Chains A and B, each alone.
Chain A
Amino acid sequence: MTRNIGKWLISGPPVFYLAVFFVIPTFIMVLASFRHAGEFGGLAPIFLHDVRGAHLNLTLESYREYFSDFIYSRLFIKTLIYALVTTFFCLVTAYPLALLIAGSEKRHRDLLVLLVILPFWSNFLIRIYAWMIILGPQSALSVGLNGFLGMFGIEPVGLLFTPFAVVLCLIYVQLPFMVLPLYANLEKHDPALLDAAQDLGANSWQRFWRITFPLSLPGVYAGIALVFIPVLGIFAVPDILGGTGGIMIGNLIKQEFLEARDWPFGSALSIILTLGALCIVGVAAMVAGRTVKNDA
């Protein structure tokens, strides 16, 4: 009995805090997606009072709006494509880095991993802002590229405020999330396997594709999940680097809450985003589970 009191005393306050400031807000948001928008932004009352007395004032209007205009699904699909491209390039960039760290001497590894983590402890906005400088019209990269294009008579191109800028920066901010799970996996590989393959005449590419890569698949899947999911909800990167053509679903949510002030529609978008992400994760986990099992 005393043990139970201790349990409640210790776990009670954090449970209570998270219930109030995480669970209840989430439910309020779900409910908000079924409400009418208020006249001056915000939300209309849940209960309407009229001659028949009080009755519920809920609606599916926000969901109908989403599915009635393809423009929203198109934005969702565009967001998925950005996330896929980002994930692919993160994998391609992170893999050699993770291999290099896993293959380096033991006493250097911790430092090399720390060097991957450090930049991502710097402020998120600063990391986005840095690309504003690099891709800006007066930057060495833009001037150099346009000088080069000019030699072939091609019109100068702008790099900033394009989908290219958005995806490049997304790769940049998400890269550590791919390196870490890959490294955690690769580090555990038994080097004797590669030695055996070499003795049997496999060249370095064969050793990579036939041994290292298949064994690293759990790490690859973990990295894909860690990179892909957060990208779906990001709004700051396209907001700063994307211009009008590069916006993603997160920007629309932000707009509905802060500019258009259609909170029910913003809430519905948030819920559709969450459900969409969950579905993708579920399907991916099933596919990944099957592949890993088959390989084992």
Chain B
Amino acid sequence: MPKRLLAASGIAAYLFLYLPLVIVVAYSFNDSRLNAEWVGFTWRWYKALFEDDAMLKAAGNSLFIALTASFAATVLGTMAGYALHRYRLRLLPVLIMAPLAIPEILVGVSLLIFFVAVNLTLGLLSITLSHIAFCIGFVAIVVRSRLAGMDESLPEAARDLGASPWQAFRLVTFPLIAPGILAGALLAFTLSIDDFVITFFTAGVGASTLPLQIYSMIKIAVTPEVNAVSTLLMLLTLFLIVIASRISPDSVRGK
């Protein structure tokens, strides 16, 4: 393709990717109820946000779920990643990949039927259990790729020098793959705090999260408060992703 056409369409594609997000951020500072004309700069939508009890409660729920789910998913995902690297397994790879490959809505509705079938009241617990389920795979993949880049002879040397398998793992392997585990944990936290579809089906009426709160605001009455909470959520995600990519560059590639 001609160079100039290529450059022009490439720049247009970047604009297409970023313009919508820039607009959301810009209107969060606009002193008008409508997302239309630029009236003037204001912090009032951010102030409104911090006086909105429902929003604060949802933010608290999101934080609690994301912390709990990312912790549990990191433990289970690290085990899975280690097992995938170390052993030839038939079942685990399928269990890791399948939830990532099938449409999210199917995971959401099947978990909804499941929780009702086992008589678990929908709420914080059902959301957290669901988030752990879809985060395990992401952590496992990050940890496994970190293990693949590790020098196998190091834990072997430890074993030759008389370390037990557990000692070799704790003192040699674990410190070497720790950045991968941390990146996986940050990834799981981000995925959990951002999740809408699976949360939507497993939340029931009791518990709300930030994305659910944003959804109901969009559906009922759009105010620039949505822009403000969106901007803050984007900043948080950006921050976490930048840290994760600093620690382990591969981790950010696949979502």
A interface list, Cβ under 8 A from B: 6-7, 10-11, 13-15, 17-19, 21-26, 28-29, 32, 42-43, 93-94, 96-97, 99-101, 103, 114-134, 136, 138-139, 172, 175-176, 180, 204-205, 208, 229-230, 232-236, 240, 250, 253-254, 257-258, 263, 266-267, 270, 273-274, 277
State the main secondary structure of chain B at its contact with A. Answer: helix
Whether B91 sits at the interface, judged by CB under 8 Å, is: yes
Q: CB distance A122 to B79 under 8 Å?
A: no
Q: Which residues of B contact A254 (CB under 8 A)?
A: 105
CB within 8 Å for A15 and B95 given contacts A25-B111, A100-B7, A233-B104: yes
Contact for A6 among B9, B136, B165, CB less than 8 A? B165
Residue of A nearest to B35 (CB): A133
Given A11-B87, A118-B241, CB of A230 within 8 Å of CB of B103: yes
Query: Contact partner of B194 among A6, A17, A123, A130, CB < 8 A?
Result: A123
Would A250 and B116 count as touching, CB distance under 8 A? no
* Complex interface bits, B121-139 against A, C-beta within 8 A gives 1, otherwise 0: 0000000011011001000
B215 at the interface (CB under 8 A from A): yes
Which A residues are in CB contact (< 8 Å) with B1? 96, 99, 204-205, 208
**A130 and B16 alpha carbons, distance in the complex (Å):** 12
Contact partner of B20 among A25, A130, A270, CB < 8 A? A130
Complex: chain A residue closest to B105, CB-CB: A233
Residue pair A21, B252 in contact (C-beta under 8 Å): no
Name which residue of chain B comes closest to A233, CB basis.
B103
* Residues of chain B at the chain A interface (Cβ within 8 Å): 1-3, 5-7, 9-10, 13-14, 16-21, 23-24, 27, 34-37, 76-77, 79-80, 82-83, 86-87, 89, 91-92, 95-96, 98-99, 101-107, 109-114, 116-117, 129-130, 132-133, 136, 140, 165, 190, 194, 196-197, 201, 211, 214-215, 218-219, 222, 226, 230, 233-234, 237-238, 241, 245, 252-253, 255
How many Å from the CB of B13 to the closest CB on chain A?
Answer: 4
Give the shortest distance, in Å, between A234 (CB) and chain B (any CB): 8
Bound: A266/B99 CA distance, A: 19
Contact B95 A22 (CB under 8 A): yes
Nearest 8 CB-CB pairings of A with B: A233-B103, A130-B20, A100-B10, A25-B114, A11-B83, A138-B36, A14-B80, A96-B9
Cβ distance A55 to chain B, nearest Cβ, rounded Å:
20
Report the Cα distance A58→B182, complex, angstroms. 48
* Contact indicator A23/B132 (Cβ below 8 Å): no
- Cross-chain contact A10 with B106 (CB below 8 angstroms): no
Contact pick for A253, options B77, B109, B255, CB 8 Å: B109
A139 touching B109, Cβ below 8 Å: no
User: Which one of A121, A175, A230 contacts B190 once the chains associate, using CB atoms below 8 Å?
Assistant: A121
With the chains together, A47 CA to B222 CA distance in Å?
47
